[in-house]
Structure 1
Amino acid sequence: MTATTPSPLPLMELSSGLFVAKTLSVAVRLGLFALIDEQGALTAAEFATRKGLHPRPAEMLLTGCVSLGLLVKNGDRYGNSALAGLYLVPGGRYYFGDYLMMLDGRAYGGWMRLAEAVEENQPTTWDPRVQESIFDAGDPKMVELFWRGMHSLAVFTARALAEAYDFSGVRRLLDVGGGGAAYTIELCRAYPDLTATVFDLPFVCEQTTERIAEAGLSDRITCVGGDFFTDDLPAGHDVALLSSVMHDWSEQEDLSILRRVRAALPSGGRIIISELLMDDDKTGPVPAAMFNLLMLVETQRGWNYTGAEYTRWLREVGCTDVTRVDVHGLSANGVIVGTVG
């Protein structure tokens, strides 16, 4: 290629993204990283025998995982990389595999119908003819898969939020739409004086209560069932958190949510919106832009909004001193904070 002619290599890398994603999800689904964690580094033949695989695909999968930095090869044996050992072994505090299984079992099928979503402006991971929204209680296995995946995605971002924003002055936190309690659990772990209420749909609260108990925080975190479009939110809190909630809905629906949140807070209370924010000129960043398309695949009216849009909405519902704090998370790159006037 000449100095002025771009290489097609970026197109090759973009078009091969599916190869990488499926290599990762299949390795997790087969329990590869868990097996190595339990039994130590394995040869390709040992892996094939343990999992009942033909030696050819077994070695191919291992080679792919080495190339991606998920495994480390020493002689003829394969061991977990530090990345895989920390995030891809079940039971770890920041286990990421549930999110990968959710993508593989639910979202990838919808992405493969992206053209349909673009042409018809309809979600492709669920059928709007039989469900009101993505959050309706449906197939129990799919519901469990979805919420486990959301918790897996949120938990690392929750820790990042705890480090990026100072909650030391907060005593009572209302986590609006906080199903899974990833944020409240991490924030309560980081701030011993904090207590919290998770407000979400009743069937979500059933699962959330179990997670709170497993974390040993039932004395500090409660879960209240309700619908933030129709029900009053619990009072008695000084901060309300909306983490990865606003992107699922239209502007008017988001304003309705914010008005209910504002009504539940005292003067001087704060509203914190945690999201994977689009740049104000809507040119990126790439993770936010791809998540924006995920909203097309997963929702009927959702968008990935900009910090400027959230700032305007907070002011519209009566908040002052609106600021932005950067967050180095997976499902959020920043929070927009407004003080109730």
Structure 2
Amino acid sequence: MLDPTPIMQLTTAYWNAMTFLTANRIGVFEALAKTPMSVSEAADALNTHPRPTRLLLNSCVALGLLEESEGVYTNSALASVFLVPGSPAFMGNAVRYSDDLYATWGKLEQALRENRPPLAQETYLGDDPAKTRHFVYGMHNRALGIGNALVNLVDLSGRKQLLDIGGGPGTYSALFVRRYPELRAKVLDLPHVVELADEIIGSLGAKDRVSTLAGDYHTTKFPTGNDVVLISGVLHRESEKGCRELIGRAKDTLEPGGLLILSDVFTDHGGTGPLFATLFGLNMMLTAPEGGVHADTDVAAWMAEAGFTHIETLPFPSPMPHRVVTGMVG
């Protein structure tokens, strides 16, 4: 007889997510980083009522986010490292961006029937300052881990000029120039995004070698004379046609021997796995007009058709779900 447990787990999976997202949003982990607290003390610090606060804190204990001893609650090691502001591995802004998307996921059926995202991307790319900050800093939190892996996957020795198309917070460019002292980078993204990118690049000590260019990568003319072009976390916003156009335009900016780096969440051939990549495609469908996910084999084929050579596909270290596809001009 088949075990229905996987079905039952799916029916309540959002309970875990909303417990975690709410705890992060109201400041549970930040408060407990200052001092261990009882239920009443936590309720006072969080401006909540004691009875529901106990239920929330106990659920966070069960989720492995908090620990409890004799009625006193503290952060778990996991929460202390990743959920407390000021920690080098802080992911709270990325969590806040997921929190902002929670209601949007409730409109999945609407998106399927209307073939348009229920959340206008302008909301988190400039129109709503708070959501834009959550998005850009959330991408920065994620990009720190991804970028530190990426700089070890591709070799930019001897290269001088990198163009970071749709570079968001500029984190990747900052990490690359820190790794390669002779390299300079330019980050192209929307005006409200690069305003925040300038803050982040400065905080990483890379402002002297990473500049920003406000524009829309769909229409803004790309600077030429590059020996590296990076397009990371962009293709999942574009259709096949849009991806092919970006690959072609990137090629036109590269000097002979130039390198194109395409980094993203890609599926296997056929698009039915891995699970995270397939669900990520739905997330992008909900938040961008052409949002989805592509197979790395398709992306490599598009690069070959555009004239790139020495095409290589590499996975990021586990558990990161990303992959990188690279190719050279000439």
Above 0.5 in TM-score? yes
The alpha carbon displacement at 1:331 in A equals 6.9
Does residue 44 in structure 1 map to residue 39 in structure 2?
Answer: yes
* Higher relative contact order, chain-length normalized (CA < 8 Å, sep 6+): 1
Aligned to 1:80: 75
Aligned to 2:107: 113
Please say if residues 163 and 187 of structure 2, whose CA atoms lie closer than 8 Å, have aligned partners that are also in contact: yes
Aligned to 2:20: 24
Aligned to 2:66: 71
Please say if residues 97 and 134 of structure 2, whose CA atoms lie closer than 8 Å, have aligned partners that are also in contact: yes
Distance in 2 of aligned mates of 1:26 and 1:155? 24
The one-letter amino acid paired with 2:27 is: G
Distance in 2 of aligned mates of 1:208 and 1:311? 29
Distance in 2 of aligned mates of 1:135 and 1:319? 34
Please say if residues 328 and 334 of structure 1, whose CA atoms lie closer than 8 Å, have aligned partners that are also in contact: no
Please say if residues 124 and 135 of structure 2, whose CA atoms lie closer than 8 Å, have aligned partners that are also in contact: no
Distance in 2 of aligned mates of 1:330 and 1:29? 25
Distance in 1 of aligned mates of 2:124 and 2:53? 38
Deviations 1:224-245 (A, max 9, x none): 2222222221223211111100
- Point out where structure 2 has 5 or more consecutive residues left out of the alignment: none
- What value does the CA root-mean-square deviation take over the aligned residues? 2.0
The alpha carbon displacement at 1:330 in A equals 7.3
Does residue 197 in structure 1 map to residue 191 in structure 2?
Answer: no
Distance in 2 of aligned mates of 1:189 and 1:67? 41
2:117 aligned residue (116, 123, 140): 123
Distance in 2 of aligned mates of 1:328 and 1:56? 43
1:15 aligned residue (11, 17, 28): 11
Q: Cα gap change, 1:324/1:289 in structure 2, threshold over 3 Å: closer, same or farther?
A: same
| Equivalences, count | 330
Deviations 1:59-104 (A, max 9, x none): 1111111111111223322221221111111122332111211221
Q: Cα gap change, 1:191/1:45 in structure 2, threshold over 3 Å: closer, same or farther?
A: farther
Please say if residues 276 and 321 of structure 2, whose CA atoms lie closer than 8 Å, have aligned partners that are also in contact: no
Distance in 2 of aligned mates of 1:165 and 1:117? 37
Please say if residues 184 and 210 of structure 2, whose CA atoms lie closer than 8 Å, have aligned partners that are also in contact: yes
Aligned to 2:148: 159
Deviates more, 1:111-120 or 1:63-72: 63-72
Deviations 1:96-119 (A, max 9, x none): 1112112212x1111001011111
Distance in 2 of aligned mates of 1:36 and 1:189? 34
Give 3-state SS (helix, strand or coil) of 1:58's partner.
helix
Distance in 1 of aligned mates of 2:159 and 2:68? 48
The alpha carbon displacement at 1:278 in A equals 0.5
The alpha carbon displacement at 1:22 in A equals 0.8
The alpha carbon displacement at 1:332 in A equals 4.7
Aligned to 2:204: 215
Give 3-state SS (helix, strand or coil) of 2:175's partner.
helix
Give 3-state SS (helix, strand or coil) of 1:24's partner.
helix
- Point out where structure 1 has 5 or more consecutive residues left out of the alignment: none
Does residue 294 in structure 1 map to residue 283 in structure 2?
Answer: yes
Distance in 2 of aligned mates of 1:324 and 1:134? 34
Distance in 2 of aligned mates of 1:332 and 1:173? 24
Give 3-state SS (helix, strand or coil) of 2:267's partner.
coil
Please say if residues 280 and 293 of structure 2, whose CA atoms lie closer than 8 Å, have aligned partners that are also in contact: yes
Distance in 1 of aligned mates of 2:74 and 2:267? 38
Deviates more, 1:300-309 or 1:137-146: 137-146
The one-letter amino acid paired with 1:89 is: V
The alpha carbon displacement at 1:281 in A equals 2.5
Distance in 1 of aligned mates of 2:177 and 2:87? 18
Does residue 335 in structure 1 map to residue 324 in structure 2?
Answer: yes
Give 3-state SS (helix, strand or coil) of 1:268's partner.
strand
1:171-186 matched pairs, under 5 angstroms: 171-186=160-175
Deviates more, 1:196-205 or 1:144-153: 144-153
Aligned to 2:266: 277
Please say if residues 267 and 340 of structure 1, whose CA atoms lie closer than 8 Å, have aligned partners that are also in contact: yes
The alpha carbon displacement at 1:134 in A equals 6.6
Distance in 2 of aligned mates of 1:190 and 1:17? 40
Aligned to 2:242: 253
Aligned to 1:242: 231
